[in-house]
Structure 1
Amino acid sequence: MAEKAAGGGVQSVERVFELLELITDAGGEVTLSELSASTDLPLPTIHRLLRTLVMKGYARQLPNRRYALGPRLIRLGEGANKQLGALARPQLKMLVDRLGETSNMAVLDSDMVVYIAQVPSSHSMRMFTEVGRRAHTHDTGVGKAILAQLDNETVRNIVTRAGMPTPTEKSIGSVEQLLEELENIRERGYSIDEQEQELGVRCFAMAVPDAPTPTAISVSGPISRVDESFADKAVPLLRSAAQAISDDLNLAS
């Protein structure tokens, strides 16, 4: 008979997902002792569940005895991202129709952001971000919008593991500078990629509230078109779109 959890779920299933989330929060790789210190589960239970996850391909044991996320999770993640992108597409299209610039959606994937949906603008000159592209968090509009939703310790861990390359002279290159920028983002409610990823390109981005995984949407284009007057129009529309996507996600859950 299946073991029941207090909330009506199956306890062993809840424990499996707890372990997967702990491995994810640790950057995708963790020791057995680190898992044990992060959960109230008995060590034999952790070991048994990990053994099952490894057998099924949802976790793997590395030569150094650490545990990492397994390759079968990639297929599940890709499928979920496609569904999330499809759900958001009407709102992304609304942004392009109203603003005339390319709109994107990205999620936090380990220590990077991955773009999962895009509606391109009709302009020949536009930002060439592609669906499936992975990017750093500290120098992208969507990345900074996502980081602003996290606590500073988590931000430090993410950028320490991923590194902080500076693609342009305008890119943020230190953790302290990034934390200061994130505080500004929290106060105003949206982020700006001020030619930090690509010279000549400006991006406005906003986090999707209450998303199941850290998520953000953005509009971007050349600085000649994406200026202060553009921001006055874009920010309210981004806020409306982010909330609509959040509402749709809650309805779908």
Structure 2
Amino acid sequence: MRLLETVAAHEYGAPAKQLARETGLALPTAYHLLRTLVHEGYLRRDKGRFFLGDAADRLSSSGAQQKRRSTVADALAHWRDRIGAPVYYAMYRDGEIEVMCVADSRETPAVAEWADFRETGHAHAVGKCLLSQLDEDTRREHLARYPVRSLTPYTVRDNDALLRRLARTRRMEPVVERQEYALGAVCAAVPITVGTTAATMAISLPAHQADQLPSMTRRLQAEMGRHMGALALSISI
């Protein structure tokens, strides 16, 4: 790792002797490790100088991605504690609804995924919020793969009814559902658009606390407004 860090500090590469000196390694040890790192693709050698290889670039990219995800997870945990409700982050990617991160606790448990969230976007606020950000053709294509089906007595009844409801949703307006996905739970989702990515932050509450959902949703929007600039890069994972 010290060798990798030292090579990364030299934009134009460095020879083995210099790397051994800067890392404090014996020259034979440095040569052995450098050969191994080149063989594994973490370094490449060109005209006697060593540079980072493709494997190191992939490692760096994965680390940066993990850091961005950690930033989102930390923000969700902060909002969970501030608002007093579980917070969800989801996005529409490659034609699928993906819940990327959930921050809940023993006191504020998340809604159990008893039916696949990807297949039931018509029933929960997260899915409907994401679908509301898509154009109508993309919505219809999604519903052709995952048609509306009743999960509770409150679930929207068919594809056309859902499409009409989505068409009435104003741009960037929160989406609310009450016991459509799971009896005993209500949910609100706030849309996020970063470039062409459709994403959302959402909260859920037990149905007996439904009267608190509007005020908690406004608090989520306010929190997002204060921190969204810093999170804009992080959520485009």
1:203 is aligned to 2:187: yes
Amino acid at match of 1:223: A
CA deviation vs aligned residue, 1:180-203 (integer Å, no higher than 9, x gap): 221343267011121111011000
The residue correspondences of 1:140-219 to structure 2 (distance < 5 A) are 140-186=124-170, 189-210=173-194, 213-219=197-203
Partner of 1:17 in structure 2? none
Number of residues of Structure 1 aligned to a counterpart in Structure 2: 174
Residue 86 of structure 1: which of 70, 78, 89 is its match? 70
Partner of 1:114 in structure 2? 98
Partner of 1:229 in structure 2? 212
**Percent same amino acid at aligned positions?**
21
Consecutive unaligned residues of structure 2, counting only runs of 5 or more, are 1-61
How many Å apart are 1:121 and its aligned residue?
3.3
Are the structure 2 counterparts of residues 175 and 219 from structure 1 closer, same or farther at C-alpha, using a change threshold of 3 Å? Answer: same
How many Å apart are 1:170 and its aligned residue?
1.1
Separation in structure 1 between the aligned mates of residue 129 and residue 205 of structure 2, nearest angstrom: 17
Amino acid at match of 2:142: I
Separation in structure 1 between the aligned mates of residue 235 and residue 212 of structure 2, nearest angstrom: 35
Aligned Cα RMSD in Å?
A: 3.2
Structure index of larger Rg: 2
Separation in structure 1 between the aligned mates of residue 226 and residue 193 of structure 2, nearest angstrom: 7
Q: Structure 1 segments of 4 or more deviating over 4 A?
A: 78-84
Please, what TM-score do these two structures have when normalized by structure 2? 0.61
Separation in structure 1 between the aligned mates of residue 65 and residue 117 of structure 2, nearest angstrom: 13
Are the structure 2 counterparts of residues 82 and 244 from structure 1 closer, same or farther at C-alpha, using a change threshold of 3 Å? Answer: same
**Larger deviation: 197-206 or 173-182?**
173-182
The residue correspondences of 1:32-47 to structure 2 (distance < 5 A) are none
The residue correspondences of 1:89-104 to structure 2 (distance < 5 A) are 89-104=73-88
1:105 is aligned to 2:79: no
Please, what TM-score do these two structures have when normalized by structure 1? 0.58
Are the structure 2 counterparts of residues 247 and 181 from structure 1 closer, same or farther at C-alpha, using a change threshold of 3 Å? Answer: farther
How many Å apart are 1:220 and its aligned residue?
0.6
Consecutive unaligned residues of structure 1, counting only runs of 5 or more, are 1-77
